[in-house]
Amino acid sequence: MIFMRRFFDHVSEKDWLSYEWQIRNRIRTLEDLKKFIPLLPEEEEGIKRTKGLYPLAITPYYLSLIDPEDPNDPIRIQAIPRAVEVDEKVQADGDPDALREEGEIPGLTHRYPDRVLMVVTTFCAVYCRHCMRKRIFSQGEVSRTKEEIDRMIDYIRKHEEVRDVLISGGDPLTLSLEKIEYILKRIREIDHVEIIRFGTRLPVLAPQRFFNDRLLDILERYSPIWINTHFNHPKEITELSEEAIDRILRRGIPVNNQAVLLKGVNDDPEVMIQLSRSLLRIKVKPQYLFHCDPIKGAMHFRTTVEKGLEIIRFMRGRISGMGIPTYAVDLPGGKGKVPLLPNYVVSKKGNTFIFESFSGELVEYTIDEVA
């Protein structure tokens, strides 16, 4: 608990465990942040230059995970702006909406036949520097009105092929309980929708959100609901995030993790295997490892596809298949996700393959169909 409260030992236990307190006390300015942590010159400049474009917000909880002595702390890199975000090259090479999410109905993206994505708010507990939806943050902290949500719902009702509604943002679970329930109730009026998924990073950024039984009651009532969350580094798995996950799982809500491969944060096989082990221990399935999208203002987080493949290859044989995420790139222009795998087929002649085993051994194997 002492580790968890770095910089905040004067705050009462009750406040610290309150989500509302965490949100009310988010660190939003350079002056405020400086009180807690000595900043690097590129961070000071970054905060000044990203103002109004890519906002700063950090919950006291997430800030407390930073080691102030370490300029390369993975939490620090995800949460504190640096000048590189507005560097000419990082700006020029990136696209605000590389995945073409913006369409006819504000907030709704219908890319795959069976699934739709609803973006219901621009509000997040922390503004992650690598966010693929950075473009929406300059709009301020706004959530969709009931009328806008109704338009999205009407669309889903008219499209009977939609079985799966993915609610994202911003962070949809930052909405008021009343609004969360309104959205769920309206979606559940549609017979052809089978599952509802929330994309939320609150288990990582403000796990106290899930200490609220009323929220959990609502989520349980509109089952089947799944949660996709976004742990990127083993340091993010703390007593409090573990407790949040446990409370979610006890309500019959499975939790999957979607990490993003980020230079300087987790582009390291040892870090990623540690992340997967920690996730399995708290019963979260590592589902995806996304290659960082070419997003304006986040290009500096990109690494190579070779690095991603190296990480996946390293994991095979060292951790259960359950712990190996699907490594994927999202194609530009909204063409969808493509899974990538290291190549284990060294050669093939007829039905005779030479495979490379997890330990690097070459194994000949003839696979015939029995007539």
Ligand X SMILES: *Cc1c(COP(=O)(O)O)cnc(C)c1O
Catalytic residues: 111-112, 115, 124, 128, 131, 133, 293, 330, 337
Residue 241 as a binder of ligand X (CB under 6 A): the answer is no
Residue pair 239/4 in contact by the 8 Å Cβ criterion: yes
Phi, psi of 259 (to 5 degrees): -90, 160
Q: Is 259 in the site for ligand SF4 (CB under 6 A)?
A: no
210 lies in the binding site for ligand SF4 (CB under 6 A): no
Stretch that binds ligand SF4, among 62-70, 169-177, 182-190, 271-279 (CB under 6 A): 169-177
- Residue 325 and residue 289 in contact, taking contact as beta carbons nearer than 8 Å: yes
Beginning with the edge strand found earlier in the chain, give each strand of the sheet holding 362-366 in spatial order: 345-349, 352-356, 362-366
| 115 lies in the site for ligand X, by CB under 6 A | yes
Strands (E), 294-342: 326-331, 336-340
| Closer CB to ligand X, 59 or 257, in the complex | 257
Is 285 a binder of ligand X (CB under 6 A)? no
217 CB-near residues (< 8 Å, 6+ apart)? none
Min dist. Cβ of residue 76 to ligand X (A): 28
**Residue 5 or 111 having the CB closest to ligand X:** 111
Of residues 7 and 226, the one with the C-beta less far from ligand X: 226
Mask of contacts with ligand X, 331-360, x by CB under 6 A? Answer: ------x-----------------------
Q: Which position among 25, 109, 121, 208 is part of the footprint of ligand X (CB under 6 A)? A: 109
Q: Which of 46, 169, 308, 325 binds ligand SF4 (CB under 6 A)?
A: 169
Taking CA atoms, 64 is separated from 193, 205, 236, 256, 357, in Å, by: 40, 11, 11, 25, 43
Helix (H) or strand (E) holding 346: strand 345-349
112 binds ligand X (CB under 6 A): yes
Q: Which helix (H) or strand (E) holds 331?
A: strand 326-331
* Using rule CB under 6 A, residue 127 touches ligand SF4: yes
Evaluated on CA atoms 310, 97, 129, 211, the torsion sign reads negative
| Rg of the chain over all Cα atoms, to the nearest angstrom | 21
Any contact of residue 110 with ligand SF4 (CB under 6 A)? no
Q: Is the peptide bond before 38 cis (omega within 30 degrees of 0)?
A: no
Judged by the rule CB under 6 A, the positions of this chain that interact with ligand SF4 are 124, 127-128, 131, 133, 169-171, 201, 230
Judged by the rule CB under 6 A, the positions of this chain that interact with ligand X are 109, 111-112, 115, 117, 166, 337
